[in-house]
Chain A
Amino acid sequence: MSDEYRAMMHRSEVAVSVELQTQDMTLNIGPQHPSTHGVLRLVAQVDGERITSVEPVIGYMHRGYEKLAEVRSYAQMTALVNRIDWVSGFASEVPFIVAVEKLMGIEAPERAQWIRLILTELFRISSHMVFTSSYPLELGATTPLFHVLRERERVLELIEGMTGGRFHPNFNRVGGIKPAAGGGKTQKKVSMDIPEGWLDATRATMERVMLSTHQSDTLVTGNELFKARTVGVGVIPGDKAVEYGLSGPNLRASGVAYDLRKHEYHLPYDQVDFDVISAPGGDCYDRYWVRLQEIRESVKIVLQAIDKIPDGPLRAKAPRVLKVPKGQIYVRGENPKGEFGYYLISEGGQKPYRLKIRSTSFSNLSILPWVLKGALVPDLVAVMGSLDFVLGDVDR
Chain B
Amino acid sequence: MPAPLNKRSRFAFPGLWKGMWFTLKYLFTPVPTVMYPQEQEIPVPRARGVIALDPEACTVCMLCARECPDWCIYIEGHKEPKAPSKPGGRARTQNELDRFEIDYSLCMYCGICVEVCPFDALYWSPEYEYSTYEVADLIHGKTRLKDWLETVPEPPALEPQGESS
Contact = CB atoms under 8 A, between A and B. Distances in A.
B120 A182 contact: yes
Interface stretch (B80-88, B93-101, B131-139, B150-158): B150-158
B56 interface: no
A210 interface: no
Contacts of B19: 143, 218-219, 223
Contact of A79 (B5, B9, B112): B112
Contact of B22 (A143, A180, A198): A143
A297 interface: no
A195 B15 contact: no
A185 interface: yes
B23 interface: yes
Residue with the highest number of chain A CB atoms closer than 10 Å, among B123, B163, B164: B163
Contacts of B111: 79, 164, 170
B2 A233 contact: yes
A228 B13 CA distance: 12
Contacts, number: 141
B62 interface: no
Interface in B108-165: 108-112, 114-124, 155-159, 161-165
B3 A232 contact: yes
A67 B48 CA distance: 28
Given A183-B115, A191-B163, A313-B163, A161 B3 contact: no
Given A143-B23, A161-B46, A164-B111, A184 B120 contact: yes
A186 B44 contact: no
B32 interface: yes
A76 B123 contact: no
B14 interface: yes
B35 interface: no
Given A72-B69, A165-B48, A170-B110, A182 B123 contact: yes
B106 interface: no
A347 interface: no
A191 B108 CA distance: 22
Interface of B: 1-3, 5, 9, 13-16, 18-19, 22-23, 26, 32, 43-48, 57, 67, 69, 108-112, 114-124, 155-159, 161-165
Interface of A: 72-73, 75-76, 79-80, 83, 111, 143, 147, 150, 153, 157, 160-165, 168, 170, 178, 180-187, 190-196, 198-199, 215, 218-219, 222-229, 231-233, 311-314
25 contacts: A72-B69, A75-B112, A76-B69, A79-B69, A111-B163, A147-B26, A153-B32, A157-B44, A160-B44, A160-B46, A165-B48, A168-B108, A184-B117, A187-B120, A191-B155, A193-B162, A193-B164, A195-B44, A199-B159, A218-B18, A222-B18, A225-B15, A226-B15, A227-B3, A232-B1
